[in-house]
Structure 1
Amino acid sequence: MESKVTTQNSKTQIPPTKPTKDFLNRLEIYLAKRDGVDKLLKISRYATKIILASSIIPETQNPLINRLKSFESSVGISRKAFRLGKFVQDVNALRTANFSSGYDLDLFLCLIAYGGEGLYYFIEQFVWLGKAGLIDKRHLNRLQKMSAWCEFVGYFGSVSLKVRELRKISENERCLMTSIELSELRGIGCEEEMGKLRKLREKKLMKKLSTIQDLADGLMALADIRDGKGKLSAPMLVSSAGLLSAIISTHKNWLAC
């Protein structure tokens, strides 16, 4: 009787194995997200911009160039439609930030980062309405300039925050490495510390990629502010920065699935 009870208990204690997601299931989850589709459109848009900025297609093939320009323009308008209401996530981020602890540089940078990005996404809704023809296009240039400035300010705050976070991660990494070295000298097992170090290095890598992405997007915002003037606003450089940003964001969203 006791053997039956223990057998039943042992059966109930075995956790069910979760089925691993194959590529198509993961792709379905990825495409169900707004950011997933948006970044795929971003890749296609800036890949097209790179083709147009290069000499891959001869100038004699005007019909193909015109089609690529039309495709790039329509994808850009489509991406703006995907940003409808996206400013709400920045509003919520500001709501959850703790501003009651007095002056703190991190909180100030959060205000710049989320405030700038939130205003950018909010104004982009009106830019989309202008490009779609619902709003008089006389206001379009002013709205685009305001949008670019808000985006640039937001990325300045975001990069500053991530650089500070990278410093903290590096300090924690050094502390863990010192602890592991001492444990090895004493002959003590340090499997738990090794696991923490591995996760910390993965977090550090993703934070570095995210910083590079923000720098690339900030470069594009600066090009919009300067109306494409200057060496940093060269079409090939800006298009390459946009493609790099899209690939990094796609990688992060894919891992999140």
Structure 2
Amino acid sequence: MESKVSPQNSKTRIPPTKPTKDFLTHLEIYLAKRDGVDKLLKISRYATKIILASSVIPDTQRPLIDRLKSFESSVGISRKAFRLGKFVQDVNALRTTNFGSGYDLELVLCLIAYGGEGLYYFIEQFVWLGKAGLIDKKYLNKLQKMSAWCEFIGYFGSLSLKARELRKISEDERCLMASIELAEVRGIGCVEEMKKLRKLREKKLMKKLSTIQDLADGLMALADIRDGKGRLSAPLLVSSAGLLSALISTHKNWISC
């Protein structure tokens, strides 16, 4: 005979979450990752750019302004060094994508997303070599424009994929909630369904944050394409978008540790 549990018990009997890691151990793991250090540098860079763009420091403090500009520039070059070989992850992502099933919109979007991002990271290596002085600086403008276009195209594909994923997650969430409501009406235990719902909502939140991050990064890529012209390319707006992107990425990397 099927055992029955009251609806109240089905809501409360959720296994406790695992204890969190020690903070310093977690921090060590985080800093051991390339993306962890890169995002900390990104936060410091765009925080500095916001200070410079908002005119918080008066013009009378010219030495301090010059030092901040020098710091922001050097951090930007350092971040490009951290991207050496990063395009390989996009190459591997394309290799594992199944293109043998014929034409499919999702496959096309994967090609645009991973292909655009991969080309961006590949070209950024040469941009770094140009800024470091190994490549003639006369090629820098062309390389940076190519890099920005590839990045922008990649984010277009990535945002399209995430919009489709969010729709699917929302559908799964509705189906799961319907199952839970039906189980509660019948007085059947639904502990596993509650756990699945919690994980699904966490996944949905992270996907939304990732979408916001792509929008912010896409705005910065658009500003680079337009050479800083137009309302959407205002220094304070672009710097704020960069800081928002860095904070979201730092949060995602911290959780993944």
Could you tell me the TM-score, scaled by structure 2's length? 0.92
Distance 2:83 2:19 in 1: 33
- 1:141 aligns with 141
Q: Does 1:180 align with 2:184?
A: no
CA offset at residue 186 of structure 1? Answer: 1.2
CA offset at residue 55 of structure 1? Answer: 2.3
CA offset at residue 184 of structure 1? Answer: 1.1
What is the aligned length?
240
CA offset at residue 190 of structure 1? Answer: 1.1
User: Cα distance 1:111–1:233, how it changes in 2: closer, same or farther (>3 A)?
Assistant: same
Q: Deviations over 1:152-186 (max 9, x none)?
A: 00000000000000000000000011111111111
In structure 2, give the amino acid aligned to 1:28: E
Structure 2 unpaired stretches of 5+: 1-17
CA offset at residue 53 of structure 1? Answer: 0.5
- 1:56 aligns with 56
Q: Deviations over 1:179-224 (max 9, x none)?
A: 1111111111111111111100000000000000001000000000
Distance 1:158 1:165 in 2: 10
Structure 1 unpaired stretches of 5+: 1-17
Distance 1:184 1:256 in 2: 33
Q: Deviations over 1:226-252 (max 9, x none)?
A: 000000000010000000000000001
In structure 2, give the amino acid aligned to 1:120: Y
Distance 2:195 2:28 in 1: 31
Q: Does 1:221 align with 2:216?
A: no
CA offset at residue 21 of structure 1? Answer: 2.8
Could you tell me the TM-score, scaled by structure 1's length? 0.92
- 1:40 aligns with 40
Higher RCO (CA-CA < 8 Å; seq separation 6+): 2
Q: Deviations over 1:49-97 (max 9, x none)?
A: 0000012111111000000000000000000000000000000000000
CA offset at residue 19 of structure 1? Answer: 8.8
Q: Does 1:84 align with 2:84?
A: yes
Q: Does 1:123 align with 2:123?
A: yes
Distance 2:176 2:184 in 1: 12
Which contiguous aligned blocks of 4+ residues in structure 1 show a shift greater than 6 angstroms? none
